[in-house]
Amino acid sequence: MHYFGEKWEPAVDTLTVPVATPVGARCDTCRTPIYDGDRGYITGDITTTPYGSLDIDHRECVVMLRVGHGHGACGCNGPREPEQMRADAVELWARLYPGH
């Protein structure tokens, strides 16, 4: 697995190789574009696979998928617009990892 953006602490043990931020690609979870300064994960072989076929996710969105249900930040209450999903994920991250 790869990560992009500035290195962060809560998930540092699972991080492997830093890569350039895939600006303009869309997060597979929230579907909003990746911006410079975002942080997240890329799964797949980035040397042979085009960005469109890689699994790219904001770090906040990965956490929302894993534990969002228990914190009221999942999609169980109905579909969300991409921007709302992204905002929910960022808000959840701030609650779980204040200061990170």
96 lies in the binding site for Zn ion (CB under 5 A): no
Give one DSSP letter per residue of 30-96, joined into a string: T-PBP-TT--EEEES-TTTS-GGGSEEEEHHHHHHHHHGGGGT-SSTTS---HHHHHHHHHHHHHHH
Work out how close the CB of 69 gets to Zn ion at its nearest, in angstroms, rounded to a whole number. Answer: 3
Q: Which of 2, 3, 5, 29 binds Zn ion (CB under 5 A)?
A: 29
Work out how close the CB of 50 gets to Zn ion at its nearest, in angstroms, rounded to a whole number. Answer: 19
30 lies in the binding site for Zn ion (CB under 5 A): yes
Radius of gyration in angstroms for the set of CA atoms belonging to the chain, rounded to a whole number: 13
21 lies in the binding site for Zn ion (CB under 5 A): no
Please give the residue ranges that form the binding site for Zn ion (CB under 5 A): 27, 29-30, 58, 61, 69, 74, 76
